[in-house]
Amino acid sequence: MSKPEFDMFQLPGYLIRRLHQISVSLFAERMSQHDLDLTPVQFATLNALALESGVDQATVASRISYDRATLGKVIDRLEAKGLIERTVSAQDRRARIVSLSQAGASLLGRAGPVVMAMQAEILPGLSLAEREQLVSLMTKAIGERSSAS
C-alpha cells in the first residue's frame, strides 16, 4: 500500500474540525462546571437576541450563520426552557418573532463570563497576539461565507 501524497494533519479542514471538537468539548465542560445548561448554538442564539431582540427566526439564523430549519429546533428548546419568547409577527403571520426573556438574559449574563474566560483555553499553545492573529485570519478566510443561506 502506498503512502498518501499529503499529510492529513497539516490540512486546514482536518485542523478546523479538530479545533471545533476541542472548542465544543471545552464549552460543555465549562458549562457543566458552572451548572449552566447551554450548548454553543443556544449560547450564540441568546447572545444574538441580546444584541437584537424582537427579530424573526430567519434573522437569528443569519446572524449566527446557522441553518434555519435546525435553528427552529434550537428555538423550540430555548422557548421550552423559558429563555426566549416567541410571538407571531404583526407584519407576516407566517413569521415568528423571537425575543430574549428575563430568564434568558439572566442565564446569558452568567454564561458570558464563563465563555469569555475559556477562549484562551481553546488555544493554549498560542500567545494573546497569536490568538488575535488567528481570529483575524479566520475572519478573513470566512469572508462572505459567514452567513448561512
Q: Cβ(111)–Cβ(69) under 8 Å? A: no
pLDDT tier, 148 (very low <50, low <70, confident <90, very high otherwise) = very low
pLDDT, the chain, mean: 91
- Give whole-number Cα distances, 135 to 82, 87, 122, 126, in Å: 33, 36, 12, 12
Over range 50-54, report the average pLDDT.
91
User: What is the per-residue pLDDT for 42?
Assistant: 97
Residue 33 has pLDDT above 90, yes or no: yes
Between 58 and 36, name the one with better pLDDT. 36
- Nearest in space to 57 (alpha carbons), one of 146, 144, 148, 145: 148
Helices 102-122 and 12-33, interaxial angle, to 10°? 130
pLDDT of 149 higher than 50: no
Report residue 121 as a C-alpha cell. 483555553
What is the pLDDT, as a whole number, of residue 91?
80
For the stretch 62-108, pLDDT in tens is 999 999 889 999 999 999 999 999 988 778 787 789 999 999 999 99
